[in-house]
A and B are shown apart, each in its own frame.
Chain A
């Protein structure tokens, strides 16, 4: 209970180490999220994306590392800062971008938007915009898996500020009581809007709260994708073996403002603090590790960047050219279709 796990060091191996393909996939996954989000920010500034939009830049290793640890039939649910998880889960960047544009080809057919990305076929059960509301839902997916006797696991994300809401307590208590196969991931990026953790939580070591719910709580370095993957593997394995839920507090940083309407620094956090958080960039960390291991050189990195740039450009073009939802779509999907 309440163990702090230090991030594992990568073992020094040759270029043909068995991780090479994985690392490359994770690096590409993180770069895709970063470039996608940069474009989403530009599209927002141009008025192509409306409403609220919360970028994931700085947190890429959390989505990529955690989602590398689960199976396609497992369940994923998140809050409103979920572009990164949607992409890392495998929703096509075209469908995510088109959803930000509100187009009919979006992953929620233009009816969800940035905060409500869904893909039932990938068991991506949404972006939810009421803080903490996804926590009972993720617990419910785990309940359903148990009810049906499958070994599926529910991966339930939340920001650290959501750990202060009642739904967090009620869910973790029940999950601990019933030993449900759920992995709760707190993405601790230090702030809920402009409120620092220490101004919102009576204890700032949030993983320690797991002790109240009879589950392990693990603090994880969220800038190190390898550490994230490993910690999630452990928690997912536990859940899959029927040993119950876990709480991962993954420490990370939000490089941008809370949403598109606030500056990254200046009021509630200083420029210096922001600059120092950027020193451990998740993409640079993995890139460096891969170079050291001989898995990556400039050409290799250039190829990934070019590939990602093409994918994001294609996603934007697709979103721009996609049709708006037909006017009659206003009235569909309120209730289930009649005939049964």
Chain B
């Protein structure tokens, strides 16, 4: 099974089966929905800011999709907790990819980036932070 472990590390399967920050945040300060038209993966992301209106206090997500898209989003919710909107808006995708820690083909990269892209769109809508230009999967997100 070694070669498959390389593809689906234990930690990924764990995040997939027991996603962190899973759910809906009622009355969220920022939210967005993202879709990957290639495989129909979907995530909705909800953000609550701390009293300073900048620091991310809580992130929740809700979605359906492959193990990579859902696990990556779950990892992301842990990663961005306590950071500011501005910091997250410029969060380098490699930081998330390092966390995921498995080689990804271009198609799977889109799955992995879905949560981060959607989060950046949510922050953009709420705070006017820069959009994740050129990020995979972004062109299909609806900015409404």
Do A and B come together as binding partners? no
Footprint of A on B, CB under 8 Å?
A: none
Footprint of B on A, CB under 8 Å?
A: none
